[in-house]
Chain A
């Protein structure tokens, strides 16, 4: 087990390296002179040159990269062009709202996704299955920004049950997390259904039924346990979807999180913040995939020794 974890950890090193190079080059890929971009359109030639030296843009690319990495190691992500504050502080202030939004979305998506998936698989080709799977494909097709705005219109404007945005009270979490979780719940439902249906065809399920186990025990204890292995992987990957989806949902609900910061930064062309956010999202995603991979190994011993 220990060797398996070490191997997985080593496996992400090259990806991390290339991702960091990509993000480092990000500022250099923007058409035009990055120093002029940072200095602003009205800056004089001297100012631009000053900025160039300050940012180290006059040095060779390789040494710039090493400076970038060593700054990263010291949690120095540069200064925001918009607020002139350290990017690290900007991001740190926005991290928790996004984190909790993601967690709540995932929590309800797992509960409902599993439930719909299990019902659809056990009531195969009955009305429950058709309803469940039609809701699931609808969930995947729903534009989250539209769903969010319609929920606001109905529950905040018409009924006045929840706030239209912001995270001041816990009620503020309900609509955004429903909006964000809908797509994930749908994916989990579809995946649970197909995985569980495969397992329900296995011999040991027939044995369980033959020896007189209750259907509930067969499904929830024996079948679901094995059906969960691919579902866990899929669910882990959906975290990435949530991270991306939070960008749209936070804009709809005026959520003070990382996603809205990213959109604000893109429209302001605040490149240090964009760069740092891209890195953070990518790191989070790589980390989640790593955890999922390891969990997969824990759950399925066959994988570990391949």
Chain B
């Protein structure tokens, strides 16, 4: 699929079968995206992660929750690839089970943040005026709390727990999406086709969803992917701080945190969950970079 001749073939086929689709945006995107080797590797890895998240419990060699007191803190071996923790549980199996949690937290929180942020950004950019300044002021306030602080503040109100982490991380993502969507909305609003839609009397709702929203999708997709990495990292940090998932859960941040007490004697308890977080976040960031280069070459970091 990745060498030059195949590209020519596939384009030939397209010409033969669907002449009108020769240069659809999707094909154009695929042509550019395919060239980015790192992003291709990253997306295969993410695909694998999703498979693991779905069938995790069936492929895990050991139970993620059953303690085995004969095997406490044993180092990595052929039986236990990543060793065992303080309760003798197989760390590799726990990481496999934890994949589901991390992906779910990452995806759901970014999704909620993206939906709310996109709607706010569209309204803000399209209507302008007072509504715009209220929404942007609201974003400024959310932005005034640097990094993880806003999430910690929200957890302080709602109480610790994974559900509240999702809410906190979602709110944390709203202003970023709102600003990005607003700025693309402003650019698209000034185009001739929006002006013509308006002059033939299309209602605002139709203009927003049919004419403006599709134009903002590419930047939303790029930021969506990039935010997944950040969100998984933030959620893991909160669990590490004891504000997210609580100990028996095989959430990666919580696993890592419980290994801190054995750092001197059994560093593998902290090493492997951290490695899992790192590689997962890295994959989403590489995919985000690749998508950015393929979808929107003008967009910078």
Q: For the complex, give the distance between the alpha carbons of A226 and B243 in Å.
A: 43
- Asked if B240 is at the interface (CB within 8 A of a chain A CB), the reply is yes
Q: Is the CB of A18 within 8 A of B148?
A: no
- Asked if A267 is at the interface (CB within 8 A of a chain B CB), the reply is yes
- Asked if B106 is at the interface (CB within 8 A of a chain A CB), the reply is no
- Asked if B210 is at the interface (CB within 8 A of a chain A CB), the reply is no
Q: Is the CB of A263 within 8 A of B241?
A: yes
Q: Is the CB of B282 within 8 A of A26?
A: no
| Chain A interface residue number, banded | 35 or more
- Asked if A162 is at the interface (CB within 8 A of a chain B CB), the reply is no
- Asked if B300 is at the interface (CB within 8 A of a chain A CB), the reply is yes
Q: Is the CB of B263 within 8 A of A153?
A: yes
CB 8 Å contact bits of A270-283 with B (1 = contact, 0 = none): 01001000100110
- For B149, B233, B275, B278, the residue with the greatest tally of chain A CB atoms inside 10 Å of its CB is B149
Q: Which residues of B contact A241 (CB under 8 A)?
A: 146-147
A-B contact count (CB 8 A): 134
Q: Is the CB of A266 within 8 A of B243?
A: yes
- Asked if A286 is at the interface (CB within 8 A of a chain B CB), the reply is yes
- Asked if A140 is at the interface (CB within 8 A of a chain B CB), the reply is yes
Q: For the complex, give the distance between the alpha carbons of A281 and B153 in Å.
A: 11
Q: Is the CB of B301 within 8 A of A247?
A: no
- Asked if B140 is at the interface (CB within 8 A of a chain A CB), the reply is yes
- For A18, A137, A190, A251, the residue with the greatest tally of chain B CB atoms inside 10 Å of its CB is A137
Q: How far is the CB of B41 from the nearest CB of chain A, in Å? A: 12
Q: Is the CB of A18 within 8 A of B282?
A: no
- Asked if A207 is at the interface (CB within 8 A of a chain B CB), the reply is no
CB 8 Å contact bits of A26-57 with B (1 = contact, 0 = none): 10011100000000000000000000000000
Q: Is the CB of A141 within 8 A of B240?
A: no
Say which residue of A14, A134, A137, A149 sits within 8 Å of B263 (CB atoms): A149
Nearest residue (CB) in B for A269 is B156
Q: For the complex, give the distance between the alpha carbons of A240 and B263 in Å.
A: 30
Q: Which residues of A contact B281 (CB under 8 A)?
A: 141, 143
Q: How far is the CB of A162 from the nearest CB of chain B, in Å? A: 14
Q: Is the CB of A285 within 8 A of B240?
A: no
Identify whether the interface residues of B are mostly helix, strand, loop, or mixed. helix
Q: Which residues of A contact B264 (CB under 8 A)?
A: 153, 157
Q: Is the CB of B256 within 8 A of A145?
A: yes
- For B140, B144, B274, the residue with the greatest tally of chain A CB atoms inside 10 Å of its CB is B144
Q: How far is the CB of A128 from the nearest CB of chain B, in Å? A: 16
- Asked if A119 is at the interface (CB within 8 A of a chain B CB), the reply is no
- Asked if A22 is at the interface (CB within 8 A of a chain B CB), the reply is yes
Number of interface residues of B (CB under 8 A): 43
Q: Which residues of B contact A110 (CB under 8 A)?
A: none
Q: Is the CB of A143 within 8 A of B237?
A: yes
Nearest residue (CB) in A for B283 is A141
Say which residue of A146, A149, A195, A278 sits within 8 Å of B153 (CB atoms): A278
Q: Is the CB of B146 within 8 A of A251?
A: no
From 212 to 238 in chain B, residues with beta carbon under 8 angstroms from any chain A beta carbon are 229, 233, 236-237
Q: For the complex, give the distance between the alpha carbons of A145 and B270 in Å.
A: 10
Q: For the complex, give the distance between the alpha carbons of A26 and B156 in Å.
A: 9
CB 8 Å contact bits of A112-149 with B (1 = contact, 0 = none): 00000000000000000000001001101111111001
Nearest residue (CB) in A for B288 is A137
Q: For the complex, give the distance between the alpha carbons of A249 and B267 in Å.
A: 18
Nearest residue (CB) in B for A137 is B285
Task: Known pairs A140-B285, A143-B274, A243-B146; list 7 more (Cβ under 8 Å).
Answer: A18-B140, A145-B257, A149-B263, A152-B263, A153-B267, A245-B148, A285-B145
Residue ranges of B at the interface with A (Cβ–Cβ < 8 Å): 38, 137, 140-141, 144-149, 152-153, 155-157, 229, 233, 236-237, 240-243, 253, 256-257, 260, 263-264, 267, 270-271, 274-275, 277-278, 281-282, 285-286, 289, 300-301
When A and B form their complex, which 4 residue pairs have the shortest distance between CB atoms, in order from nearest?
Answer: A244-B147, A146-B274, A240-B146, A141-B282
Residue ranges of A at the interface with B (Cβ–Cβ < 8 Å): 14-15, 18-19, 22, 26, 29-31, 134, 137-138, 140-146, 149-150, 152-153, 157, 187, 190-191, 194-195, 234, 239-241, 243-245, 247-248, 251, 262-263, 266-267, 269, 271, 274, 278, 281-282, 285-286
13 A-B contacts (beta carbon < 8 Å): A18-B137, A142-B278, A145-B237, A153-B267, A247-B241, A248-B148, A251-B241, A262-B149, A263-B243, A271-B156, A281-B149, A282-B144, A282-B146
